[in-house]
Chains A and B, each alone.
Chain A
């Protein structure tokens, strides 16, 4: 599948001299980026792999794995896209994996994949226990995105869920609504508890009694639509 290509052919393809090809291949760091690119492109065009010629510097093309739970929520899609763009500008490849990481076999598979792909790091969007994320963090640098793990010191990036929920419910209250129901996500997620706190805080400030909370296990539109039709909130 990967042929050994003569320097003569590379030189011809790249439009440079054989001695230049030889120089670039023996000392890629000393060659200009432009010259290295020409040789790399020529090798590709001839069906070869630049890695065989030592032309790909170690720091380039390292991979970061972004993991989302399965099945995945479209919410993550623009987040992954933004992460990928930033990774690329730093010289990294970002690939997406979907794994629920909730069973020991899926964790094993995930860790083993991180090792095999020599991942430089990973971003985890799942709800995790502190043991789970610690296991991952021991294998590669890991950060959590839009979730955090209680009791863990793995770094994370999240929004102020409580504050956001509080603002949303305050807004509903400000338009005169009083019987405000909450359709929440699974309690395994930190966001779920935090948004409930925000909701509750806004309500307690405005009314004396709590409205009903429907706890859902999956944010699945079809099945819950029926529930909403039957229960009337204001």
Chain B
């Protein structure tokens, strides 16, 4: 496959043949500048460095993907999809875990500048100000979360419609005492899913009860969720269905219900969200909302790369659709 000799490269770059051999065979001990010269020489011969195992110098090609917590498995396939796209375009994708709600974005801005990141994808709940501070420094897109009036492009899902569909399904099974185990209201998904839930209640003439709503932190603590469900099951009028905004919370709900002596789904129906692996593994398996995780990650990466490579191109934000997956945790 080689269409050049080491001698030619040595002549073209002024680098010794021994070093050129090292660039190809033991690249880890070659300085990036030296490798860069060899890559340039190959390019000027009209050849593709990638074909010879020489990737473009990854300097200035780092994208940081930030998540609020690594404990939520929901992000894993999104990150993987983003990484595949980034890699195919010659970028490195590294993942940072930072919760901006308490600490703010100063540390993150410092990190981006230290790492000389050329773009960032953020999955956190953001305020308009924080997001705009970041976007003043470098290309940024948000993934899953969105702040439409910030001017920052996003790829997200229609959370309101997804929740509406889930709760509509629960009502269709005959339930009217439906609780919601939600996430923190600082997240757009939490606010929008609550709206979807409320819309069904209104349409059905079901009274909204604040004691049927729990707000669990973004790390989806199993015990906290279980305690919230247990508390609701101890009410004088307990719910007979739980809509949970994560399969992790749905698992906790099922556990709590069973510990309380209830049968799932015969006595209590439970619906989760995200379609992460536990939704299949749980017994009973969890009826859930499947999110287009591969598209979320891939689109986010494509969008930020487009911003990096063409700063003037306007990007269209996207709301993706979701799908209800019916399993064993809901009454037949």
Q: A63-B115, A221-B280 are in contact. Are A108 and B62 (CB under 8 A)?
A: no
Question: At the interface, yes or no: A213 with Cβ under 8 Å from chain B?
Answer: no
8 Å CB contacts to B: which residues of A14-63? 40-41, 44, 47, 49-51, 56, 61, 63
Contact of B62 with A97 in the complex, beta carbons under 8 Å:
no
Given A70-B80, A78-B71, A221-B281 in contact, is the A108-B27 Cβ separation under 8 Å? yes
By beta carbon, the residue of chain B nearest A112 is B58
Decide yes or no: A111 and B27 within 8 Å by CB, A44-B106, A49-B113 being known contacts.
yes
- Measured CB to CB, the closest approach of chain B to A189, in angstroms, equals 19
Interface size class of B (residues with CB under 8 A): 35 or more
CB of B106 within 8 A of CB of A65, answer no
Instruction: Please tell me if the beta carbons of B55 and A112 are within 8 angstroms of each other in the complex.
Output: yes
- Complex Cα spacing A92 to B181, Å: 36
The answer, yes or no, to whether A13 is at the interface (CB within 8 Å) is no
How far does the alpha carbon of A81 sit from the alpha carbon of B96 in the complex, in Å?
Answer: 10
Do A116 and B111 touch (CB < 8 A)?
Answer: no
Query: Which A residues are in CB contact (< 8 Å) with B53?
Result: 104-105, 108
Interface size class of A (residues with CB under 8 A): 35 or more
User: Which residue of B has the minimal Cβ distance to A84?
Assistant: B97
For the complex, give the distance between the alpha carbons of A98 and B185 in Å.
31
Interchain CB contact under 8 A, A61 and B114: yes
Query: In this assembly, does A173 line the interface, its C-beta being within 8 Å of a C-beta of chain B?
Result: no
Within the complex, what minimum Cβ distance (angstroms) separates B219 from chain A?
9
Q: Cβ of B58: which chain A residues have Cβ within 8 Å of it?
A: 109, 112-113, 116
Per CB-CB distance, the 8 closest pairs between chain A and chain B, nearest first, are A96-B95, A95-B94, A111-B28, A61-B114, A77-B70, A116-B58, A49-B113, A74-B73
Seen from chain B, the residues whose Cβ lies within 8 Å of a Cβ on chain A are: 27-29, 32, 53, 55, 57-59, 62, 64, 69-71, 73, 76-77, 79-80, 83, 87, 92, 94-97, 106, 109-111, 113-115, 133, 136-138, 277, 280-281
